[in-house]
Amino acid sequence: MHDEPVDRYDAQTLTTSVQTAILGAVAIPSGGAPVIEGIIPLLLDDSPAFTIAYNRLETARMIRRNPELTLALHDPRLARIGWSPLAVPVRATVEPDPEGDIFRERLLEYELRKHPPSREIISTFLLQRENWWYLPRLIVRLEPAETPHPLTRREDTTHGLLAWEDGSGGHPAVQTAAAPDTSDERVTVRPLGVGGPPDGAPASLRLHDLEIPEMERSATLNLSGRLRGGTLAVETRAGSAGLGPRPGIISRLRWFRALERGCKRGLKTGY
C-alpha cells in the first residue's frame, strides 16, 4: 500500500489502484446531496470503468444526466499490493451493451476475479447460457478530470464515505468520515482527512459492510441531509448497517429471482 505523505498522486497511481481495489464508490451529483453508489472498479482501455446490470437502469440514467462524478477508493478490504486510497473527479460516459459482448470479451474475467457473487451466476459457459440476462451491462467509462488525491483509509465499520456539493455545479467532494452512531436522525459526522464540507452543505454518508471473502452478505446504509457543525440532519435514510443472519435457501432464491426479473425488465425497457 502507498504510505508516502504526499498531497497528490499521478495517473499511474490511479491505474494501479483501480487494478488492485476490490471495492469502490462513485459520488453522483443530484442538485442536492450527492448519490453514492458502490461499484466494482475495473479497467477498460487502461482507463477506470465499472458496469451496471440492467436491473439498475435508473442509476445509469442518473449518471447520463449528471456525468461529473467523483471516483473514490477508500476501502482496503481485499485490496491487493499496490493499492492506494484515493479520489479523483471524473467525467462518465455510459455505453449500453445489451448483448453483453463487450462485457463478456473484455471485462467478465476481471469481474469474476473481484466479485465472488458473480461467480455463482456467470462463471461457466453453462451458467452464462442459463443466466444470459446478467451478461448485458451498461458500461460506464470514467475519464479523469483532475489528478487523483489521497483519501484517508477506511479502518472499521464506523467509517464511511462522505460526499457533498458546494453549489458550484461541479464534481462532488468526498472524504472518509467517522460516524460512531447512526441510529438517530441527527448523526455526528467527523471527516477524517484535510478539509470538509461548508456549514449547511447538502451531504450524503454511505457506510458499507460485507462478509469477507465470500461477499455473500453485505449491508449498506445511506444517509443524506444537511451537515451543520459536524451534525448531519438526516432527511433520507435507506438500508441498514448490520450484516444480519446468513440467508437461507428461500432468501437466496428470492434475491436471485428478483435480480433476474429486474434485469429482464431493464432490458425490455431499454436505456
Name residue 141's beta-bridge partners: 49, 93
**Predicted local distance difference test score (pLDDT) of residue 193:** 85
pTM value is: 0.94
Does position 2 have pLDDT exceeding 50, yes or no? no
Give tens-digit pLDDT for 10-67: 899 999 999 999 999 999 999 899 999 999 999 999 999 999 999 999 999 999 999 9
Does position 271 have pLDDT exceeding 80, yes or no? yes
Does position 174 have pLDDT exceeding 80, yes or no? yes
E strand or H helix that includes residue 114: helix 108-114
Tally of residues, the chain:
271
Dihedral sign of CA atoms 20, 143, 56, 221 in order: positive
Give tens-digit pLDDT for 133-163: 999 999 999 999 999 999 999 999 999 999 9
Distance CA 161, CA 172 (A): 12
**Predicted local distance difference test score (pLDDT) of residue 170:** 85
Domains contained in the chain, CATH given: 11-239 (2.30.110.10)
Distance CA 6, CA 4 (A): 6
E strand or H helix that includes residue 122: helix 116-122
**Predicted local distance difference test score (pLDDT) of residue 191:** 95
